Amino acid sequence: MSVALFDLTGRRALVTGSSQGIGLSLALGLGRAGAALVLNGRDATKLEAAVDGLRRQGLDARAAAFDVSDPAAVAAGVARIEAEIGPLDILVNNAGIQRRMPLEDFPVETWRELMRINLDSVFYVGQAVARHMIRRRRGKIINIASLQSEAARAGIAPYTASKGAVKNLTKGMCTDWARHGLQVNGIGPGYFATPLNQALIDNPDFDAWLKARTPAGRWGRVEELQGAAIFLASAASDFVNGQILYVDGGVLATL
């Protein structure tokens, strides 16, 4: 198989929620594969620091700070990228939050916040970017789902609901947009050592349970998601559509 299948030279990628953690690692991987990068987040200061870090590694990176849970901000932000930075070939919908508490105690306003960021943003940004991709008859959209798109755990029912919806929205985007030359797929990370999971990492009981439950016997490293993103962003996946690629160390494969 030709290495050129995985070459992203000449392509431009927008990665939401990419000032740290999984999003920043995915951007780094896409950049090392040749893509020009547009990082997105709400905190302009953190975003610029992330961009500077990528540039110091010789990558082409720009910042686009806007709130992906605000449809008007998304429309303006995507239009500005297309007009001032250049056309987007790749979108990674990565922005997300976690809120842990028993479902019976979960506040309505927190439910709505989680759904706005984890699910609504995928629709808002996906639609805004896809409208440009459809006109160009090509594009790659990668939605970050989760192990929780398939399995629940106590205390995170709303997160599980949001990521299950992201999985099915990915299938819906494929169904509507594949005929226009777009490939829409998802990545379902298992348990990775990220700021989002810091409370779990610091919990000795959970840490021990996770390592025993995972066939690989450890937490994932964020750089181990880069290969999946490069594959789904590249010509190597041109006939892959509507799929979720789980990168979980084998959790879903075993009881």
**CB-based contacts of 188: which residues, under 8 Å, 6+ apart?**
145, 146, 147, 149, 150, 167, 244, 245, 246, 247, 248
Residues 133/178, Cβ–Cβ less than 8 Å: no
Tens-digit pLDDT profile for residues 7-38: 999 999 999 999 999 999 999 999 999 999 99
Tens-digit pLDDT profile for residues 115-157: 999 999 999 999 999 999 999 999 999 999 999 999 999 999 9
pLDDT confidence bin for 3, thresholds 50/70/90: low
Residue 195 has what pLDDT? 81
Distances from the Cα of 26 to the Cα of 22, 73, 75, 108, 134, angstroms: 6, 23, 23, 32, 24
Please tell me the distance from the alpha carbon of residue 222 to that of residue 187, in angstroms, as a whole number.
12
Single out the residue of 40, 45, 109 nearest to residue 74, CA to CA.
40
Residues 91/141, Cβ–Cβ less than 8 Å: yes
Per the domain annotation, does 68 fall within a domain? yes
Per the domain annotation, does 251 fall within a domain? no
Per the domain annotation, does 115 fall within a domain? yes
Most distant CA pair in the chain: distance in Å?
53
**What is the total count of domains within the chain?**
1
Does the pLDDT of residue 1 top 90, yes or no?
no
**Which CATH number belongs to the domain containing residue 198 in this structure?**
3.40.50.720
Per the domain annotation, does 253 fall within a domain? no
Residues 68/46, Cβ–Cβ less than 8 Å: no
Per the domain annotation, does 10 fall within a domain? yes
Does the pLDDT of residue 2 top 60, yes or no?
no
Per the domain annotation, does 255 fall within a domain? no
Per the domain annotation, does 254 fall within a domain? no
Across the chain, what does the average pLDDT equal?
A: 97
Q: Which one is predicted more confidently, 194 or 56?
A: 56
Please tell me the distance from the alpha carbon of residue 162 to that of residue 116, in angstroms, as a whole number.
9
pLDDT confidence bin for 197, thresholds 50/70/90: confident
Does the pLDDT of residue 198 top 60, yes or no?
yes
Report the chain's terminal Cα–Cα distance, integer Å. Answer: 35
| Structural domain boundaries enclosing 206 | 3-246
191 classed as catalytic: no
